[in-house]
A and B are shown apart, each in its own frame.
Chain A
Amino acid sequence: MAKKITAVLLALCLIVTVFAACGGNEGGSSSQAGGSSSEASSSGGESSGAESSEANENTGDVPTISLMVTCGTTPADTADVEAALSEITREKIGCNVELITIEIGNASQQMNLLLAGGDDTLDVFYAGIGTSFVNVASQGQAMELDSLMEPYAEEMKKALGENVYESGRINGKLYGIGRLLDQASVPCFTIRGDIAQEFGYKNGDKINLEKLTKLFQDVHDKYPDTPIIGPNNGSPNIGDSRVDSLGDGNKLGVLGNMGQDETVINYYESEYYTELVSYFKQWKEMGVYMPDLLNSTEAPVDFIPTGKCFGCFAGHFSAEMNGIWSTSNFGVDCASLQIYDDTVAVTPGAYGCINPATKNPEMAAGLLHLLSTNADVENLLINGIEGQHYQVLDDGSATYLEGQDITSVGWCLGYSWANQNSTLSIPFDYPADYFDQLLAANAAAKQSKAFGCQFDLTGVSDAVSACTNVVNQYANPLAAGSVEDFDATLKKFQEDLKAAGIDEIIAARQEQLDAFLGK
């Protein structure tokens, strides 16, 4: 009998632990949410405390607008930047700004929680970083902005470009303000500078896949023991600027011919892709891939300077700038070679949005306006405070203070891309004319026919998740040269995509594109 009781107790105990364990995840995530919101409210409390003393000097209460700031790890000096920023915003729009830092690694989860609750913990945020703009808008997490932005529209169109400003429209309604950034990315191959020089190339040179393969062959003949293609962000990351991937990293339905065609095609059955795969095959046969590339945890900054591998693919609006960036970040001279001649300008990837739950929509709109047009505000958010986080050099570019680097500086430097209009800021560790070049590259690129078309794939979301799984399964192994039989794998890849419903996605995109083009 005692045994039976023990057994029952044990069973109960187990049930509780099992349930506790499975509930544990939810508990964990919700407590995380609680954590961040309580953090938010406590820092809100601080700023309102600071505010109240000033409020006595000024008149009445100053409301606080919260703003999303993307960072790698939460920076130490958030309060300082917040204070400096609030000084500007109190004068211009009559509110304080509270910065909610979102770590890029957790952005998906964190944004999901911050936006799902319907809380106003985040008044102004960027959709497209950790979230999808179309989903945010269709799930009712972004406010319609047309009437709110009206007083600012002209000025903002001038600052961002009309095409960028208008790109935030879904079904004719403005849900977000497009981020001004490089619109056209050229794939390039970054290789150690001395090797490039030895074989007759220099930073910023143009090359095509055929010549690149020749270069790989020459380098490999001379240095047979060192692999040439390493990973960048965990995969080979070979871009293809000959198509507009319509805002989808998995390229489920693209516009060919530099985005000049009006027919959505299946990228993985197009010549663009089959040609690339034939090169993957050649490179694999030549033996220039880093072994176990997909499983390597090393970043270019690890393997290029140490000579473990000569290079990797990268994407940038300018190969030359990418080489300069690599040289200053890897600590060894690097050259980036541009792979395709032309570039195509595509729809922006992130949008400044206002949470419908905000208490002060007008002020939030005012903040979006400042973010788009005010150089002081943008520079503060991007580079931090002068003398505390950066210094301006004689040539007009910014860099770290003496003795500081990315690990010790108190602000999240390096996230200019996560801001509304980084072209207003001082280029950091880039030439002073960096943003002029960026704007010039935007202007020079062919603008895709689908620029500004926002695709809503919720109608075919089953096919999207199935196809996403298929692409995950095949695309990287093919590009990393880690399959045995390229032709058979490619064929299987194409068949699986068909079975997963890629044609539905293409048809949905085509329909929406036709509507967008007014056909």
Chain B
Amino acid sequence: MAKQAPANALKTAPKKQGGFAKWLPLYVLMIPGLAYLVINNYLPMFGLTFAFKKINYNVGVFNSPWCGLDNFGFLFKTKDAFIIFRNTICYNLVFILLGNVLAIVIAIMLEQIRTKALKVYQTCILIPYLLSITVVSYLAFAFLSTDNGFINNSILAPLGVEPISWYSTPKYWPFILVFINLWKGFGYSSILYFATLIGVDGSYYEAAVIDGASTWQQIKYVTLPCLKTTIITLVIMAIGRMFYSDFGLFYQVPMNNGMLFDVTNTIDTYVYRGLLQLNDVGRSSAAGFLQSLLGFTLVMITNVITRKVDPDSALF
């Protein structure tokens, strides 16, 4: 409660002192960030109108004629529509679920390590996150290539198993892509959780130990509840990106191989492949617009549900 007092003071103080002037330095500090936000995130929103226009550069993009929802049609044109939405959503669900579980486990493990090796581990798990996806795709190729690949030559061959033609067998790819995504992302997200964990007051654990809690019980009753807000925040943020996919992961890593489209085609890659040659600004904006709209809706719904269940954890 002692901590709450200053917070209350902050809330009431400005009224008494007519405090805009008092907070002026803080507002000034805010200007660069605000300017960045407006220029980078709000001004481009004009572009959303492109989604409803038939662009003609001769009269300028703003004077181009409106065309209603025509630009959205191509996304639903074929039976691919089902596949690309299914792939995008299902992969994201798996990524969110497994990604967070793995990150939390790693964060807890890191937290338990009290040696100097911690820095080394932290660096090691972050390296995959820092690799360019193109590099990752060639790493994958080094493992999976049919004639020179590590798996076929050094693992399957000694075991007497026939080499597998990875790049022409779709059934393996959901696992390969999930594995690569987890491997690439777990370092970064576990650091986020780890940052929350080191902020947890050590006296909770001391109290738990005195009460005779085992390590497992400490994790269950102290660590996880402390992480709850962070988990919910990160998950809601991830849900907002539900209709986007990591273009590099789904395009570069399978090397744009037609044989694998059934399991690797997502909204982003479909739009890219379909519109690359057409240079059609209107329809690519339409796809982006739809993705953001659906993502936004999902975030709002999730937040409403969260607020119902646990008001403290809701984002807004």
Which residues of A does B touch, CB under 8 Å? Answer: 1-7, 10-11, 14-16, 18-20, 22-23, 26-27, 108, 112, 115-116, 118, 131-132, 135, 139-141, 291-292, 294-295, 297, 356, 461-466, 468-470, 472-477, 482-484, 496, 499-501
Contacts and interface: CB of A to CB of B under 8 A. Distances in A.
Contacts of A291: 146-147, 165
B283 interface: yes
Interface in B37-64: 37, 40-41, 44, 55-61
B257 A139 contact: no
Interface stretch (B17-25, B87-95, B233-241): B233-241
29 contacts: A4-B312, A6-B199, A7-B229, A7-B313, A10-B233, A14-B237, A19-B37, A20-B41, A23-B40, A118-B57, A139-B55, A140-B57, A141-B57, A291-B165, A294-B255, A294-B259, A462-B73, A462-B74, A462-B77, A463-B77, A465-B74, A466-B80, A469-B78, A469-B270, A469-B274, A472-B261, A474-B258, A482-B165, A501-B78
Contacts of B206: none
A265 B60 CA distance: 37
A22 B237 CA distance: 13
Interface of B: 3-4, 7, 33, 36-37, 40-41, 44, 55-61, 73-74, 77-80, 141, 145-147, 165, 167-168, 196, 199, 229-230, 233-234, 237, 240-241, 244, 255-259, 261, 265, 270, 273-281, 283, 312-313, 315
B58 A356 contact: yes
Nearest to A143: B58
B141 A465 contact: no
Given A27-B40, A140-B57, A295 B278 contact: no
Closest 7 CB pairs of A and B: A140-B58, A465-B274, A462-B74, A7-B229, A473-B258, A292-B146, A473-B261
Contacts of A466: 74, 77-78, 80, 274
A475 B283 contact: no
Max chain A C-beta neighbours (<10 A), residue from B3, B233, B258: B258
A83 to B, nearest CB: 32
Given A14-B237, A23-B40, A499 B257 contact: no
B279 A108 contact: yes
Contacts, number: 148
A118 B60 contact: yes
A292 B145 contact: yes
A18 B283 CA distance: 24
A129 B233 CA distance: 46
A132 B279 contact: yes
Nearest to B316: A11
A11, A297, A499 interface centre (most CB from chain B within 10 Å): A11
Nearest to A462: B74
Nearest to A248: B277
Contacts of B234: 14
Contacts of B313: 7
A169 B308 CA distance: 64
A3 B199 CA distance: 9
B257 A1 contact: no
Given A20-B40, A465-B274, A11 B74 contact: no
Contacts of A472: 256, 258, 261, 273
B259 A482 contact: yes
Nearest to A481: B168
Given A16-B37, A475-B258, 14 more contacts: A14-B233, A14-B234, A15-B237, A19-B41, A108-B276, A139-B56, A291-B147, A292-B147, A295-B141, A466-B274, A469-B78, A473-B261, A477-B168, A500-B80
Contacts of A461: 74, 278, 280, 283
Contacts of B270: 469
Contacts of B315: 11
Contact of A1 (B4, B146, B229, B274): B4
B273 A112 contact: no
Contacts of B265: 469
A461 B201 CA distance: 60
Contacts of A4: 229, 312
Nearest to B36: A20
Contacts of B258: 294, 472-477
Contacts of A19: 37, 40-41
Contacts of A141: 57-58
Contacts of A23: 40-41, 44
Contacts of B40: 19-20, 23, 26-27
Contact of B255 (A295, A468, A473, A484): A295
A10 B257 CA distance: 40
Contacts of A15: 237
A294 B167 contact: yes
A116 B240 CA distance: 30
Contacts of A468: 273-274, 277
A474 to B, nearest CB: 6
Contacts of A20: 36, 40-41
Contacts of A476: 258
A3 B276 contact: no
Contacts of A499: 78-79
A1 B199 CA distance: 14
B281 A116 contact: yes
Contacts of B275: 465
Given A462-B77, A466-B74, A483-B168, A3 B229 contact: yes
B144 to A, nearest CB: 9
A5 B230 CA distance: 12
A115 B281 CA distance: 12
Contact of A501 (B7, B77, B280): B77
Contacts of B36: 20
Contacts of B261: 469, 472-473
A465 B278 contact: yes
Contacts of B141: 295, 297
Contacts of B56: 139-140
Contacts of A135: 278-280
A209 B223 CA distance: 70
Nearest to A501: B77
Please indicate which of the listed interface residues A16, A22, A465, A482 has the most CB atoms of chain B within 10 Å of its own CB: A465
A207 to B, nearest CB: 28
